[in-house]
Amino acid sequence: MSVTTEQVESRVIETLASFGPDRSQITREATFEELDIDSLDLVELAQVVEDEYGVVLKGEDMKELRTVGDAIDLIVARAG
């Protein structure tokens, strides 16, 4: 099953918004630091991603992520 970037983007933004940041601030360019998204949030995001797309993201994968777009691109690449 292939997923589109749009589908992943929408799911990632929805999930991040449920962690606290204002939805309007969650853009591809926004950094996790700006959004106050920390390592525990990213582990929760990874759980959702694994459930939805079967993509397993480990700690070392997440460490490299700086922006929301980075996360979306990584998930799409792995799911593909």
SS3 43: helix
Q: Does 65 bind another protein (CB under 8 A)?
A: no
The crossing angle, in degrees rounded to 10, of helices 68-79 and 39-53 is: 30
Is 41 among the residues known to form the active site? no
Q: 45-55 burial, b for 16+ CB within 10 Å, e for fewer?
A: bbeebeebbeb
Q: Does 59 bind another protein (CB under 8 A)?
A: no
Q: Does 34 bind another protein (CB under 8 A)?
A: no
Q: Does 48 bind another protein (CB under 8 A)?
A: no
> Which residue ranges make up the site for another protein (CB under 8 A)?
19-21, 36, 40, 43-44, 47, 50-51
